[in-house]
Amino acid sequence: MKRFLPTFLLLLLPLTVNAQDFDFNHAFQDYLYNYNLYRSSHLEYVSAKSEYLTYKTLTAQTKALEATQKMLLARAETLKTYLTALRMKLKETTGVLNYQQNMYYLKLDNEVTWISSHETSLPSAATLDDLVKISQEAEKRYPTMEILAYQTLGTVMTGKEVTLRDKINEQISKTESKINQIKEAGEDTTTLERWLIQAKEKIKRSEEKEKEAQNLLSGIKTTDKNKIQTWNKAQKAFEEENQYLKEAVSYLKEILREIKSE
């Protein structure tokens, strides 16, 4: 038994390495590959469907059944790899609160599990009606997945902005300490203090924009027809948040220039 143990461990090694190599880029490539497969299978489905609806023959029906099954499987695989890519993006983003990250992991994993079970039911469909019924289940579920996707993307963006804001706040604190030191040395720091207040104000405005984006995203409902519009509004708020952070940094630069010059 002891003789076989190292061999067994060696066999396990590539698996461990593969798991470590699986990052967002890998997941994203998987998704793009499956999305392309879906697109081509969808074209086949459209053509087979049209043929069947025109001729209504048994041969056309069988072809339509096969093409629909293939397309539905590709659609499910696209969704699964898409959600996995989102999960990896979330995993690689710093600044996301742990509880939030875990909550989204759980939600994304639930959807992936649901899709897997949906996939297993597809090959057992014997008729086109069976496939339509199975597809309708996915159709009902899809809005939930869409909302989850937008909210996960929002969390990724928030994480990025939070990381940057924390770093800027750190520099604001350091600059404030330096201004205090200059003040204690007997120099007039009124202008510097006023400018620092303005930099802090920009940070505050950026936080407000972040909340605005989050509120928009958490307000999306499954019944909303134009989820993308809400997403676009949220994205605009994120861009404005970023602009405020840039302005805060620009103010800090001016403060430092002032400190450095007589």
Residues that bind other proteins in the complex, under the rule CB under 8 A:
28, 35, 38, 42, 49, 52-53, 64, 68, 71-72, 75, 78-79, 82, 85-86, 89, 128-129, 131-132, 135-136, 138-139, 142, 145-146, 149-150, 153, 156-157, 160-161, 164, 167-168, 170-171, 174-175, 178, 182, 228, 231, 235, 238-239, 242, 245-246, 249-250, 252-253, 256, 259-262
Helix (H, G, I), strand (E, B) or coil at 108: helix
Considering the complex, state which of residue 17 and residue 109 has its C-beta at the smaller distance from other proteins. 109
Cβ nearer to other proteins, comparing 17 with 199: 199
Instruction: Give the nearest distance from C-beta 98 to other proteins in angstroms.
Output: 22
CA-CA distances (angstroms) from residue 116 to 119, 131, 262?
A: 5, 16, 68
- From CA 53, how far away is CA 41, in angstroms rounded? 18
CB of 229 to other proteins, least distance (A): 12
CA dihedral 121, 122, 125, 131 (to 10 degrees): 120
Residue 21 or 129: the one with the smaller Cβ distance to other proteins is 129
Q: What φ, ψ does residue 222 adopt, rounded to 5°?
A: -60, -30
Provide, rounded to whole angstroms, the least separation between the CB of residue 253 and other proteins: 6
The residue among 216 and 245 lying less far from other proteins, judged by its C-beta, is: 245
Under 8 Å between Cβ of 158 and 214 = yes
State which residue, 11 or 32, has the beta carbon closest to other proteins.
Answer: 32
| Residue 95 φ/ψ region, left for φ over 0, alpha for ψ in the -120 to 50 degree band, beta for the rest | left
Q: How far is the CB of 224 from other proteins (least distance, A)?
A: 13
Nearest approach, Cβ of residue 25 and other proteins (Å): 12
Nearer to other proteins among residue 91 and residue 182 (C-beta): 182
One DSSP character per residue, 120-177 reads: HHSTT--SHHHHHHHHHHHHHHHHHHHHHHHHHHHHHHHHHHHHHHHHHHHHHHHHHH
Question: What's the min distance (Å) between Cβ of 157 and other proteins?
Answer: 7
d(CA 237, CA 181): 37
